[in-house]
Every structure is written in structure tokens, then in C-alpha cells.
Amino acid sequence: MIIREIQQKDNESIAKVIRDIFHELNAPKVGTAYADPILDTLYEVYQAPRSVYYVVENEGKVVGGCGIAPLENGDDSVCELQKMYFAPEIRGTGYAEKIIGRCLEFAKNQGFEICYLETLSFMTTAQKLYKRIGFENIDGPMGNTGHNSCEVWMTKKL
């Protein structure tokens, strides 16, 4: 498996991975990444300044991804860890931690000081990973992501 930057040809594949996970987990479709109007154009979205999206490719197939971008309507020093989703066949392989590490390194190199993320309360495995790598819970949302169904917010100093 390899971690690489998203390419335009990956748009459909990563959108499918993300949507499939929402169906698998019976997660809310409204107020989450599932409903993001940008979900089908992640390559184009992550061409913006100070933004990157990495995918995990397994034998030519995109099986997950994660990105970093400035926090919408946030301070210039704050970035957001975004759209981290992995197909069932690669969960537990360590690639989530690897891809987050790559995202956080990119964020530091872009001059961000704090990384923010939000998730759903029942995604406890992801929350354990975030805490293990230094994210801490905060009391409320930051910025304006539009993900009003997410009820867990975390930050990490970079």
C-alpha cells in the first residue's frame, strides 16, 4: 500500500469510499462530510493554498484518505484535519496514523499552529487514535464547517 497525494482520477473512488462508510455505519447523512457539496471534487478542492489530501492506494485501488486545509472561518493559524475515512479492509493496519502524520507534517510546514478536527460521538476507534497522537477534546466547534451533526471536537498543538 502507498500513501500519495490525490489525483483527479481519484475523485470518484474516494467519494465512494466515504459514502460507503456512512452507509456501513448508518451514520447521519445530513450535517456531515456525506452531504458536502465538494465530496465529488476533492482533487480540485485540495489544490487551494495550504491544503493537501492524501489517499491510500492498495494494488491500484483507492481505499482511504485524509486531508488538511485551513479551518473555514477560522484563524489563519488553525487548520482542520478533514475527511479521514478508510475502507474496512485496511482498518487496523496503521495507515490511519501514517496518513495523519503526513497531514500534520504538511500543516507544520505551512505554518499552522493548531490542528482542529470534528467527528461523530460513536466513532470511538478514531477518537482513541486521535487521543493517542495528541489530540485533546474541546468544549465546542471552531470555525464554520457545516458539520452540525458532529458532536466531538478536538485540537492538537503543532
Tens digit of each residue's pLDDT (9 = 90 or more) over 81-90? 999 999 999 9
Tens digit of each residue's pLDDT (9 = 90 or more) over 112-132? 999 999 998 888 889 999 999
Ramachandran sector of residue 112 (left: φ over 0; alpha: ψ -120 to 50; beta: rest): beta
Q: Does domain 2-157 have CATH number 3.40.50.12280?
A: no
According to DSSP, the β-strands at 136-138 and 78-86 are unpaired
Output the average pLDDT for the chain: 91
Tens digit of each residue's pLDDT (9 = 90 or more) over 32-49? 676 677 889 999 999 999
Predicted pLDDT at 121 = 87
pTM equals 0.91
